Structure 1
Amino acid sequence: MMRLDGYLLDDQRTDTEEWCNAFAALFDPVTFRHLEALGIGPGWRCWVVGGGTSVVSWMARKVGPTGRVLATDTDIAPLLPVARPPVEARVHDIGEQEPPGRGFDLVHARLVLVHAPDRERALRSMASALRPGGRLLVEDADPALQPLLCPDEYGPGQQLANRLRHRVRQLLADRGADLAQGRRLPRLLREAGLSRVHADAHLPIASPASAALESATIHRVRARLVTAGLATDQDIDRHLANLASGALDVATAPLISAWGHKA
C-alpha cells in the first residue's frame, strides 16, 4: 500500500515489514500532525483510502469506540490484523468505484492518487464523500521537486547514489507514475470544490530510516534495473554497501501534504 519511490514494488515480498517500518518512521509523524491540526477526535467518521496499518490504528485510537474508521484498498490483506471496531476494512478501488459511503468527517489518502488512472475523478470522489465542513487530507510525493538521493554530492558514493536514483525514477516514469503529482495537490483540491486549502512539504535528509527505505527499495527493483540495462550488479552492490556503512546522507522525495474543507 504505502509507497514513495516504490511504485514498482510488490507488497508480497518478505521484506515488506522492514520497508513499511522505515516509511512509517519517516512520514507517520507528519501525517499525524496534520490530522491532529484538522481536529480528529472522539466520534469522528473517517475514511482512509489506501492507508497503512499504522495510520489506521492511530486514527482508531483518536475516534474511539463511538467513531468509525473505514479503511479501503484494492487488497485489504495487510489491514486485516487491525480490522476490529471501530475499524472496518473493505475492498474498494478509488479510481473505478463510487465512494463507499457519505457524510465522513475526514477523508485521508497518502500516496494514492499517483496510482489512480483518473486522478481528478478519484479526488472528486473523496471530496464528495465528505459531510459539509468535512476535511480532506491528501499526501503525495513529488520526486521531480527534489530529484537527488544525496543532495550533498561531494564524492563518488554520492554520485553513484544519485545516478541510481535517477534510473529508478526513469523506471517509474516509464510505468506511468506522475513524478510531479505532489505539487499539483493544492490546485486539484480547489478544483474539487474544497475551500481553505493549504499545503506544506516534508523532506527528510540524513535519517537512518531514509537509508533503510532506500536499501529496501533498491533490493526490490534490482532485477528491473539490471534487466533494463540501467545499472549493473556491481553498481548496486557498491551502493548497498555505502548505505550500510552510514556514509551517505540520504534524502527521500518530498512528501507534499494538502488539505481543505468542504463548504
Structure 2
Amino acid sequence: MAEDSGYLLDNQQAEAGTRFDALATLFNPSTFRHLDALGVTAGWRCWEVGAGGPGVPSWLAARVGPAGHVLATDIDVSWMTAAGDAGFEIRRHDVGAEPPPGDGFDLVHARLVLVHVPQRDAALAAMVSALRPGGWLLVEEADPAMQPLVCPDESGPPQRLANKLKRDFRTLMAARGVDLAYGRTLPRLLRDGGLADVGADAYFPIAGDACALLEKATVAQIRARLVAAGLATDDEIDQHLANVEAGLLDLATSPMISAWGRRPGGASRRG
C-alpha cells in the first residue's frame, strides 16, 4: 500500500467530539492522578500541548487558580473555543513546527500528541526547553504494539473480526508515520533530553461503555479509508459495529504510557 500522510482522526469530523469525551472518561482519572503526584498547585504556570478538548486545561486552571496561568494549544482549537470561557488561555500552535509559546512553565503536559507529530523529536525538545528549572514534563502516549489486541479475550468470530479491523487500522497509522511502539521509549527520551527524576507507568482499560463509544467513533472516522485501501469491507465494518452495539465484545484500549521528568535546577515535588 502506498504511503499516505495526514492525521487519520481529524478533529473536524463529527465523531471527534465523541472520541474526546470517551478519551476523557477513560484517561482523565489517570492523567489527574499523575498531575496530583507532580504537585500541581496554586500559582503554577502550565502549558497543555495538543489539548483537543477543554477537560485537562479546565482541571489545571481550577488547580492553579487566579495566581497561576494555563495555556492550552492545538493546531485545531475549535473544540476548546466551543466550550466558552473555561479560565485558561487558548492559542493555535503547532508544537512540531513552531517555537514553544513562552518559557518558564512549571508544568508541560501532552497526551496522545507526539505520536502523530512527524517532527516529534523537535516537539519533545521544545517542550523540555519551555520548562523552568525544577519544572515537570508529563508525556502520555499509547503503545499499540505493546498490547495489539482490541479484544484480548479472542474467544470467537466477533472478537477475531474486531482484532482484524484493529490490525487494519494500525496498518493505516503506520503508513502515515505513526510509531506504534513510541510509548515505551518515553522514559529513555526524557532522560536523553536531560530531565531528572524520570519515571513511568502504563494503564489501559478493558471493557466498559467508554471503550465501546471510543471504538464506534474511531471506526466511523476511519471507515472510508479502510475500505478505500482494500483493508476491510463495508460488510465487515457493519458486522463489527453491530457486535459492539450488541455488547458482545470486551474492548480494550492500547496501553497508555505516562512518563514524567523534571528539569534540573529546582526542587523535586513529585509525591
Stretch of structure 1 that moved more, 73-82 or 63-72: 73-82
Structure-2 separation of matches of 1:202 and 1:190: 21
Q: Give the equivalent residue in structure 2 for 1:79.
A: 80
Within the alignment, does 1:13 sit opposite 2:13 as a pair? Answer: yes
What per-residue deviation string (whole Å, max 9, x for no partner) do you get for residues 99-128 of structure 1? 111111100011111122222221111111
| Residue aligning to 2:229 | 228
Helix, strand or coil for the counterpart of 2:39?
Answer: coil
Q: How far is the alpha carbon of 1:7 from its aligned partner?
A: 4.6
User: How far apart are the structure 1 equivalents of 2:57 and 2:254?
Assistant: 23
Q: CA deviation at 1:92?
A: 1.3
Deviations 1:39-80 (A, max 9, x none): 011111000101131011111110111110011111222222
- Correspondence list, 1:98-247, <5 A: 98-247=99-248
Query: SS where residue 41 of structure 2 aligns?
Result: coil
Are residue 26 (structure 1) and residue 23 (structure 2) matched?
no
Q: Deviations over 1:163-219 (max 9, x none)?
A: 011001001111111111100100110111100000000111112211110111111
Question: Which residue of 2 is the match for residue 3 of structure 1?
Answer: none
Give the secondary-structure state (helix, strand or coil) at the position aligned to 2:42. coil
Larger deviation, residues 146-155 vs 116-125: 116-125
**Native 8 Å contact 1:74 1:92 kept in 2:** yes
Asked if the contact 2:58–2:86 (Cα under 8 Å) also holds between the matched residues in 1, the reply is no
TM-score (norm 1): 0.95
Indicate if the aligned counterparts of 2:9 and 2:16 stay in contact, CA closer than 8 A: no
Match for 2:186: what amino acid? L
| Partners of 1:85 and 1:156 in 2: CA distance | 46
The unaligned stretches of length 5 or more in structure 2 are 1-5, 265-271
Q: Is the 8 A contact 1:7 1:177 kept in 2?
A: no
Gaps of 5+ in 1: 1-5
- The letter of the residue matching 1:216 is A
Cα deviation, residue 82, structure 1? 4.9
CA distance in 1, matches of 2:68, 2:85: 12
Task: Report the AA paired with residue 8 of structure 1.
Answer: L
Q: TM-score, normalised by structure 2?
A: 0.92
- Following the alignment from structure 1 to structure 2, what is the Cα–Cα distance between the partners of residues 103 and 39? 16
The count of residues paired between Structure 1 and Structure 2 equals: 258
In structure 1, what is the equivalent of residue 269 of structure 2?
none
State percent identity of aligned pairs.
60
Cα separation, partners in 2 of 1:253 and 1:7, compared to 1, 3 Å: farther
Once residues 160 and 67 of structure 1 are traced to their aligned partners in structure 2, the CA distance between those partners, rounded to angstroms, is 49
Q: Deviations over 1:112-147 (max 9, x none)?
A: 111222222211111111111100000001011110
Distance 1:48 1:179 in 2: 23
Amino acid at match of 1:25: T
Q: Are residues 14 and 119 of structure 1, via their aligned partners in 2, closer, same or farther at CA, if it must alter by over 3 Å?
A: closer
Confirm or deny: 8 A CA contact 1:49 1:107 kept in the other structure. Answer: yes
Measured against aligned partners, the alpha-carbon deviations of 1:6-33 in whole angstroms (never above 9, x if no partner) come to: 9511212223222211111101111111
User: Does the 8 Å CA contact 1:57/1:82 hold for their aligned counterparts?
Assistant: no
* Paired residues of 1:48 and 1:56 also in contact (CA < 8 A): yes
